[in-house]
Amino acid sequence: MNGIERLAHRITKRFGDGSPFFLCDCMGIQVRRLDLPKRVRGFCFRTESGKPIIVLQETLSEMEDCYCCAHELGHLLLHPGLNAQVIADLTYLYAPRYEREADFFAACLLIDPNFDEWSLTYNPLTQEQIAELSGLPRRVVDLRFER
């Protein structure tokens, strides 16, 4: 997954910020909030003209909102032209690889890009504690610490 990590670091460095909302703004990606079904936290798509849009559940907490935006941004950058929901609906296949990659991208954006220095700073903390403090799902923190 080093390529995903490099991509996250490259765009963070290019735009000077790792906030997924700031990055979306810089890249011309529209973010909308709608009242979605409870089980849907967000999704992304491209319009017929190719304009990328991220749609987020309007009732998400600030932390969930940030994570979901980073996750969907990961899909747009890592899986252009791929619509996992359409694949699932048409083929009844679930694409966990794509979800894992989007989660890893989100972790790379939202956990300090100077990861090696950061992990030394927070070394006394467990991954569970880091997840609790950062508001990220535990599985996302675990992905970031995998080597």
pLDDT of residue 4: 92
Q: Given a cut of 70, is residue 117 above it in pLDDT?
A: no
Q: Is the pLDDT of residue 108 over 80?
A: yes
Taking the model in full, what pTM does it have? 0.83
* Cβ proximity of 131 and 137 under 8 Å: yes
What's the CATH number of domain 2-137, 1.10.1740.10, 1.10.3430.10, 1.10.8.50, 1.10.10.2910?
1.10.10.2910
Domain range annotation of the chain: 2-137
Higher per-residue pLDDT: 130 or 67: 67
Distances 140 to 48, 70, 104, 133, 134 between C-alpha atoms, Å: 32, 11, 6, 13, 11
d(CA 64, CA 3): 25
